[in-house]
Structure 1
């Protein structure tokens, strides 16, 4: 535990485990509310996510900020290495609106970057960068990052379809067929998706632990997936899912048409459109009113146009910020 100063009264301490989750959820939700971000976290969400981390040790990589024994902010770090050898030191941080303007964000950001330097020094090979994903509306966080030398690197769009019953009926390409997803298909579906994304910006190879975590994740809903096969090969997929807890907390009926991929040799044949259309109709049949997805603003495979053809419209622009990280010498 570290008391920052007698004047500020702020105390930074490590993550203690499950007992922290209720207060962390309150802090995150209050931060979302201050920024107009339509998201909600529950203690159960946090427990599930923290148990599944494969590149983050929350007992070392998370920090709780307290004032008079009340949790007023928290942050977390993790790192991953892209196929090109660039190591990204990622971060999230939450400060509720009522605690902003007191320097808490600067203190939290300072701890995060110091932790990045510590971790980078332990794995010094290759280039390293600080990396932050900032949602539209998180203006205070964006200003803080810019003041510390971060610059926008890439934009990602959130897209929404609110006309699920009007989903177009794109035909399946000849020679391909949809099959119900069975447990013996899981590994092939996982591998095909990551192979299809090898040529996408910023992708990092998954670890063996990532596959196990995926099998237990809240987005693992194989009964809703649309998977096209060409013989024994997965040609393309859309891994549709619904977050029931989020819908309940936000009083909405949203599904997600996500994890969309088509293998190289099946591209430009209309497969993605056909799978997406089927995903939208499934969500409509399950009573959803809308579907969302996220896409790289500079996607080189024409995904943005495909999604627009399927009735999606851009509703948010989120930003990746980065700044160089000079690896300290131990």
Structure 2
């Protein structure tokens, strides 16, 4: 599996490794203050992605019975322009600066090139994208040294739910309803249309939607809201609860995964309508905090919307890219 230091065992990640993988990510959370915790169940779900060939697209690095680092590479079925391959990787805090990060990235870059050739060889442009929190200065230096360049910036934002929630009126002729499975396919198509002009976004096929969005074990249908014009979805806000985060922090948090408004109805405050419905219901059902992530260059002005609704910056993340072709 590539060239790794001889003092580690490198092998694909299996579902039986989920507890060790979760322990590694817990260590990374403490070291880098990512605010992200995972249970073994969360990670087993990720390995269940039908497009992920765990035997070829994942690697765990082990010392004795401890997973000290890992890497995963993801490909996308549907493209808009560039074939952007995603990756996730980390090294335990106490095992950094020993060459593991460099070896991981070398393997990741090689595997990303293979995936491009396997799935989208006719697409002329391909790049690797990876994201790192600002507190991990070692990773930033590693990426720069390997030729990756900064390209986008993301804020995670938080809002205590004991603060007053602004009243947002629903425009005449429209109505707000909780998510129901009957709306699922229409919501997928609306999401694809809404995010078509967002950097790096690609149309979500049914399989991807089921695995990572409304089919995720973290999805909370009763806290997700749709704005309807007749029976047409014109805006929405999807809610997720990551129980491992609650276990780690003691704070029950609702995560706003996706918010959007179709082009024909923009400029009417409908994203705010859906989002306030979500956080109002979350507060009423015992959640203490809401959080979300936003691209600082979001073309729809999402950052200013979230600030108006009381969300404040909590952490800063940078997306790096490396041209593969």
* TM-score (ref. length: structure 2): 0.92
Contact 2:21–2:67 (8 Å) recurs in 1:
yes
Contact 1:164–1:281 (8 Å) recurs in 2:
no
Q: Unaligned 5+ residue runs, structure 2?
A: none
Counterparts of 1:287 and 1:276, CA distance in 2 = 17
Shift, 1:229, TM fit: 0.5
- Residue in 2 that maps onto 1:108: 104
1:244 aligns with 2:240: no
Quote the RMSD (CA, aligned, Å). 1.9
- Residue in 1 that maps onto 2:32: 35
Residue correspondences, number: 322
Q: Secondary structure, in 3 states, of the residue corresponding to 1:260?
A: strand
Shift, 1:256, TM fit: 1.8
- Per-residue displacement from partner, 1:71-111 (whole Å, max 9, x unpaired)? 22111111226643311122111211111121111111111
Matches within 5 A, 1:248-263: 248-263=247-262
1:85 aligns with 2:81: yes
- Residue in 2 that maps onto 1:265: 264
Matches within 5 A, 1:1-330: 4=4, 8-15=6-13, 17-51=14-48, 53-68=49-64, 70-80=66-76, 83-122=79-118, 123-126=120-123, 127-213=125-211, 214-326=213-325
Which stretch of structure 1 is more off in the superposition, 295-304 or 159-168? 159-168
Pick closer, same or farther for the CA change 1:210–1:71 going to 2, 3 Å.
same
Contact 1:167–1:277 (8 Å) recurs in 2:
yes
Shift, 1:65, TM fit: 1.3
Shift, 1:231, TM fit: 0.6
Shift, 1:148, TM fit: 0.4
Pick closer, same or farther for the CA change 1:82–1:189 going to 2, 3 Å.
closer
Contact 1:79–1:90 (8 Å) recurs in 2:
yes
Largest Rg, 1 or 2: 1
Contact 1:3–1:12 (8 Å) recurs in 2:
no
Counterparts of 1:219 and 1:195, CA distance in 2 = 24
* TM-score (ref. length: structure 1): 0.91
Contact 1:165–1:281 (8 Å) recurs in 2:
no
Contact 1:225–1:279 (8 Å) recurs in 2:
yes
Q: Unaligned 5+ residue runs, structure 1?
A: none
